[in-house]
Amino acid sequence: MERMYRNALLLALSGLVLMMVTGVYFEHQTEMESVERVLLAQTETYAVYAGGSIPSGRSVQYDADRLYQGKMLCVSAAYPLPDGMPAQQARNVRHMVGLYVPAAENVTLSEEAIYALCAMVEENPLIGTWIMDGMRSPQQQSQLQRETFETYLNTMPVAQAMARAVRDVPASGQSEHQLSDCFDVRLNGAHDWSQTDALLRTQDGRWLQENCWRFGFVRRYPPEKTEITGVENETLHFRYVGTVHAAVMHATGWCLEEYLQALHGNGVITLETQDGVQAYVQCVQMNASGAAFVLPPEYDAAPSADNMGYAVCALTPLSGFGI
């Protein structure tokens, strides 16, 4: 009897210890989620943190086709687009907004990118700038590489011409220009040739360098990042990613590859304005059926595959996120 009593007491005690341990564990977890944010960068108007707790909401599943229409695909020789990927949706800039945006005749871009360009030229008409290249089909990309090869062939042997063409123009499926948010600019007007960085040679170029992020654009291949991007000859290439992603990349100085790497490692990145308004970026691994994200009420979600096995989703407060 005494032994039974002692055993029962031991059992009760061990249960209590287990509950205490479990309780501490959960409390610890909750606390970690709410406080474990690491400051990555700070500007005058907002801060960027690794981690953070996304407000609760329902889980929404997006399929792969939907995610491949997104704005965060990394496309390169190392990460080519999947075969047979449906083309992203795009519209001819001139047909949509005439010459309100200074674009050449056959430039096509996503509606969001065109609207963002409109907002940008409303603040600065960019009269010394010309948007030259937008979205290309896989066939147009192949043709461009072939034409480049033929041009080189006029002045050098076949093997050398081939090597140069492959270096200068990515093969079909390996160029960002197959996405609907990328374009190159041609800068006209007075040039300051003392600048080694081609973008900084004109007034418009310098303005773009400073301000494009506020409208959701990033300079995709900055000269100081060529070792990471592997792209040297696209210094005047811009890409629309949306204001949340552009703001993170602006504050941290990350190029797309560095940003995606940070998202893979952290899972969540939080932006916070001086007034305490928050936007979030979630990142999860994709599986065969796509990816699921938490979607809190009062937030707009922009999900996208990253073409590296993950998917990301920017959450912007519906009430606005002024930075």
CA 224 vs. chain centroid, Å, equals 18
Q: In angstroms, give the least distance from the CB of 257 to Zn ion.
A: 16
Residue closer to Zn ion (CB basis): 129 or 266: 129
Asked whether 187 and 199 are in contact (CB, 8 A), the reply is yes
Residue closer to Zn ion (CB basis): 235 or 270: 235
Question: Which residue is closest to Zn ion by CB?
Answer: 237
Is 136 a binder of Zn ion (CB under 5 A)? Answer: no
Residue of the chain from 201, 237, 239, 250 that contacts Zn ion (CB under 5 A): 237
Is 234 a binder of Zn ion (CB under 5 A)? Answer: yes
User: How far is Cα 266 from Cα 274, in angstroms, rounded to an integer?
Assistant: 23
Residue closer to Zn ion (CB basis): 144 or 161: 144
User: How far is Cα 292 from Cα 312, in angstroms, rounded to an integer?
Assistant: 10
**Coil, strand or helix at 189:** coil
Is 181 a binder of Zn ion (CB under 5 A)? Answer: no
Residue closer to Zn ion (CB basis): 57 or 173: 173
In 3D space, the residue among 205, 202, 221, 194 whose CA is nearest the CA of residue 75 turns out to be 221
Q: In angstroms, give the least distance from the CB of 192 to Zn ion.
A: 23
Backbone angles phi, psi at 301, to 5 degrees: -110, 135
Q: In angstroms, give the least distance from the CB of 248 to Zn ion.
A: 22
Backbone angles phi, psi at 315, to 5 degrees: -115, 115
In 3D space, the residue among 151, 95, 102 whose CA is nearest the CA of residue 122 turns out to be 102
- Which segments of 154-242 does DSSP mark as H helices, in order? 158-168, 203-211, 226-229
Q: In angstroms, give the least distance from the CB of 264 to Zn ion.
A: 25
Segment holding 291, helix H or strand E: strand 291-295
Is 257 a binder of Zn ion (CB under 5 A)? Answer: no
Residues with Cβ < 8 Å from 105, sequence gap 6 or more?
Answer: 94
Kindly indicate which of the ranges 3-11, 59-67, 178-186, 241-249 contains the residues binding Zn ion, using the contact rule CB under 5 A. 178-186
Q: In angstroms, give the least distance from the CB of 279 to Zn ion.
A: 28
Is 184 a binder of Zn ion (CB under 5 A)? Answer: yes
Q: In angstroms, give the least distance from the CB of 94 to Zn ion.
A: 19
Q: In angstroms, give the least distance from the CB of 231 to Zn ion.
A: 9
Residue closer to Zn ion (CB basis): 54 or 126: 126
Size of the site for Zn ion (CB under 5 A): 3
In 3D space, the residue among 193, 198, 257, 260 whose CA is nearest the CA of residue 233 turns out to be 198
Which 62-121 positions form the footprint of Zn ion (CB under 5 A)?
none
Which residues of this chain interact with Zn ion, rule CB under 5 A? 184, 234, 237
